[in-house]
Chains A and B, each alone.
Chain A
Amino acid sequence: ETGVTQTPRHLVMGMTNKKSLKCEQHLGHNAMYWYKQSAKKPLELMFVYNFKEQTENNSVPSRFSPECPNSSHLFLHLHTLQPEDSALYLCASSQDTGVDNEQFFGPGTRLTVL
C-alpha cells in the first residue's frame, strides 16, 4: 500500500467525452504530480503542485486540465482527447519538492481514448 490512491483504475472514453481522474494521498505530503506513461515511451512529467499551487506545466495540451483543491487531492480533467492520449496516467506525491524527496506513486489509471 503506497498511500496514494487513484480512481478510476481503468477508463474508456470517446473523443467528445469529458471525464476526470482523481488522485488522493494519505501521507500528509505537500507536493503532488501527474505523469503520463505511453507504450514504448518513457514516463513523462505533466504537472507539479506544491502546497496546492501549480509549479510546473511541461507544455501539456490544454485538453488536460489539472486541479488541486488541497494538498491531499489532485484531479486531471480530460476533454476532447485524442487516441494518442491513451496511456497510463500516474499520480505521485512527496513531502515537498526538494531534491532528496522520495516520490510515492499511485497504481495509475489506464486510459483508452476511442
Chain B
Amino acid sequence: LAKTTQPISMDSYEGQEVNITCSHNNIATNDYITWYQQFPSQGPRFIIQGYKTKVTNEVASLFIPADRKSSTLSLPRVSLSDTAVYYCLVNDNNDMRFGAGTRLTVKP
C-alpha cells in the first residue's frame, strides 16, 4: 500500500483558505486519493475523493497534479468549526490505511 506523508499540524485564522498537501510518491495506477476529517471523540467523516486533476464539492476542493505523487486539500474560508484532524488516504480497494493526519487549528 502506498504510504502518505502530510504535515503534522497547521494553524490558520478564520476566513482564510487552507491548503493541506499530502505526498504519496508510491501511488499505484488503480489508487484513489481520499480525504477524511475527524473531530475529537468522533469517527472520521468523508470529505472528498479524487483520481486525477481537480474535484470540487460543497465542502472542499482536491487538486491532483498529473504525476499524482501528491494532492492538496483546499478548504475555502475556514471557520473555528473546521478545527480537526485531516487524513489523506491512498487506497486501491476499501482497505484504507490511515496515517497520522494533519491537525488543523483555526484561530479567531
Residues of A bordering B, CB below 8 Å? 2, 4, 31, 33, 42-45, 48, 56, 88, 90-92, 94, 96-108, 110
Output the least CB separation between B52 and chain A (Å): 13
Closest Cβ neighbor of B97 among chain A residues? A45
In the assembled complex, B13 has its CB within 8 A of some CB on chain A: no
Tell me which residues across on chain B come within 8 A of A108, comparing CB atoms: 41-43
Q: Which of B18-49 contact A (CB under 8 A)?
A: 30, 32, 41-46, 49
In the assembled complex, B95 has its CB within 8 A of some CB on chain A: yes
Closest Cβ neighbor of A56 among chain B residues? B95
Count of interface residues, chain B, beta-carbon cutoff 8 Å: 21
Tell me which residues across on chain B come within 8 A of A97, comparing CB atoms: 93-94
In the assembled complex, B61 has its CB within 8 A of some CB on chain A: no
A42 and B101 in contact, given A97-B94, A99-B93 (Cβ under 8 angstroms): yes
In the assembled complex, B10 has its CB within 8 A of some CB on chain A: no
Distance, CA A2 to CA B98, complexed state (A): 20
In the assembled complex, B91 has its CB within 8 A of some CB on chain A: yes
In the assembled complex, B92 has its CB within 8 A of some CB on chain A: yes
Tell me which residues across on chain A come within 8 A of B41, comparing CB atoms: 88, 107-108, 110
